Structure 1
Amino acid sequence: MTTEQQEPEKRYDPADRTLRFVTRQDDITLDDDPDSLRAEMSCGHAVTPQSLTAWCRSLLDQGQYVFRCPALRDGTLQKCGAQWTYQEVRKLAVLTATEQRHFEVTLAALAAAEYCECKTCPGCQTSVERKDLSNLCVQCTVCTAETGRLYQFCWQCLQSWKGPGPRSDRCDNQGCTNKELELLKRCPTMSLPQVPGVVDCPSLRACPTCGLLLEHDRSGCKNLLCSRCQVEFCFVCLKLTPLCLQTSTHFRPCQDGVAPRQTSIPAWDRSSTP
C-alpha cells in the first residue's frame, strides 16, 4: 500500500474511557512518535492505532492468522509473544470498515486453509472438502445437481475423474501424479552432524501426523516440530518424539535406525490431533 493509498492517520479519542492510556515513555514499544496517544493492550504493552494496524496487517501478509505482541520483555531480548484476540485488535487498531473486511476475509481464508483441506472443483469452481481422505475420487454435489448426472473429479490432478474408483494413488488421466510423493522419492540424503551415526537420511520427510513436507537444516537435534499440526516427531525414525525417546535421546541414534524413504503421505485426521 503506497502513502497515497493509506487511510488518514488514526488517533485515539482522549475521552474514550474504555481504553487505558499510557503516558510513560518506557511503556512505548510499537511506535516511536512521542506525540501519539498510546493505549495499553491486554498484555500491558502500548500501541497506537497506526502501529497496531501495520503490525497485524504484516502478520496477515505473511500468512499468519494469530496476532502476537512483538514487544520485548523488560530488560531482555525475548519477545512478549502474548496473543491478542481479533476483537481487541479491531478495537485498538480503530479499523475502518474497509480494513475490517480485509482482515476478516483474510483471517477466514487462512484459518480454513489450516483446519480444512479444500480444493476448487474444476467443473463449477466451488470449494469442496474431501470426506474420505483415502479416496482421490471426489463427487461435487453442485455439478451433480446442475447437470443432473453424477460428476466426480480427481483430488490430485483436479481433472474430471477417469477410470475406476475409489483409488488412493491416481486416476487414469495422463500426468496424474503426486508431486509431493515424487519429491520424497527423489530428494537427496543427508547426515546430522550432532547425532552420531545418522547418515544417508532422506533430507525431506512428510510429517507422520499431517503429511506436511518438512526439511531438516542439519543443526541441533534429530526432532522437528511440525509447523502445521504442532506435533513433534523424530526426523530419523519417523516416530513421534515421546515414543522415540523411550529408547533413545535427542542426540543419540534411534534404536530402529533410519526409516526408509516414505512411499505414501499420511492424511491428517484433525479430530485425533490434540
Structure 2
Amino acid sequence: MNVPKCPSCHQSNVGVLDGQCAVCRSCSDVKRSVFRFCMACQREWPRSAPITSSCTLPNCALRAALLSDTKITDPHSSARGCPYFRACPGCKTLLTHNGKGCPNIICPQCNTHLCFRCLREFCPGIQNIETLGFLTHRLYLFQDNDIIPCRIVDNKQSLTVLGL
C-alpha cells in the first residue's frame, strides 16, 4: 500500500484517522490546528463534518478516479501512457479509452468530442513515421500551418478546468 501524502505540503507525515480521513501532522503543526483531508479526493476534510469512513465532499469518487496513478500500458494503444480514466469536459462522465484506433473519442453521454491524450476538442490523429526501419506513431495538432505536438495531459491539470 502506498503511504498517503498530504495534498497541502506533499509530505508523508500523515496519520489515518478512519477510512478516507487522514491528518497531516506537519500541516497541523504549522497551522496550529488539526489539518484533516480525504485520502481519495485529496481535499481538506470539512471542519464541521464528522470523521467518518467515507468522504462526503461532492465528486469525491470522480476526483479519486482522476487522481489515480493507473495508466494505459498497452504498447499498441494510441492512448498508451494516458491516465486510465478521463472526465468528459462536457458532462464530467468518467471515460476510458478502448485502446483501439485513434485517441479521439466521443462521450456516449453527451456526444462531446475529445482527444484522450491532450483533452483538446479535436486532434487530427496519428501520423505514421518510419524511424530506423520501425513504424512509430506521433500525434500532432495542425493549427494555422503550425505543427503542435499532441502531448498527454495529466488529469491533475484538468481538475480546475472541470470545476472539480
Relative to the length of structure 1, the TM-score reads 0.30
For CA contacts below 8 A with separation 6 or more, give which structure has more relative contact order.
Answer: 2
Larger radius of gyration: 1
Structure (1 or 2) with the greater strand fraction? 2
- Larger fraction in helix: 1
